[in-house]
Amino acid sequence: MNRTNANILAAGLQAVAVTAMLGAAGCSALNVPNSQSIQGLTPSATVSLTETFVAGVGGGDGTLTFNGQNYPFRLIGSVMGPGGADRITASGEVYKLSDPQQFEGRYTQGSGSAGLSQSGQGQLWLQNNAGVIMHLYSTSSGVLLSIGKEEVIIRLST
């Protein structure tokens, strides 16, 4: 097994563990934000990220830009449903963030209604347990079958 395949396998195993952890933690407890959630608010930061889903689990990385500083991060997540293979590139605004440490945590992602999503552009709304909201504009390439809700865990890189 070459190094790339070993890294993909390790990431997949880590994502499976996170998926189990998310299920045990009661993923649906977080609210899914929308445009009304940020009405009248000024963005606190910006974010860009790339995530790849394979068979319902995903991983990726990104950068949070807050007060002129860049904070790299890693993310892992799961799709509620059968999954598929999809690569998502997204960027947008972050709201209700006063400290970079608040950015870490488990996010509920609302990407729309249940069904089959295919390559194209869209919007993602995410909120973590600290109340931080991300409104992202995304481009995806691939196919993903879900019930319209995903969970993502973000950790700042050190």
Domain residue spans of the chain? 3-156
Distances (CA, A) of 13 to 106, 135, 152, 158: 18, 29, 15, 22
Share of the chain above pLDDT 70, in %: 63
pLDDT band at 151 (very low <50, low <70, confident <90, very high): confident
Calculate mean pLDDT across residues 2-25.
43
pLDDT band at 19 (very low <50, low <70, confident <90, very high): very low
Helix (H, G, I), strand (E, B) or coil at 16: helix
Q: What's the angle, vertex CA 10, arms to CA 54 and CA 136, rounded to 5?
A: 45
Share of the chain above pLDDT 90, in %: 37
Which residue in the block uniquely carries the two structure tokens 């097994």?
1
DSSP code, position 44: -
pLDDT one-digit tens code per residue, 61-108: 999 999 999 999 999 877 655 556 677 889 999 999 999 999 999 988
pTM of the complete model beyond 0.75: no
For 19, the token pair is 């998926």
pLDDT one-digit tens code per residue, 102-128: 999 998 875 555 544 555 677 888 899
Calculate mean pLDDT across residues 10-32.
45
Identify whether the C-beta of residue 78 lies closer than 8 Å to the C-beta of residue 15.
yes
**pLDDT given for residue 113 in this prediction:** 52
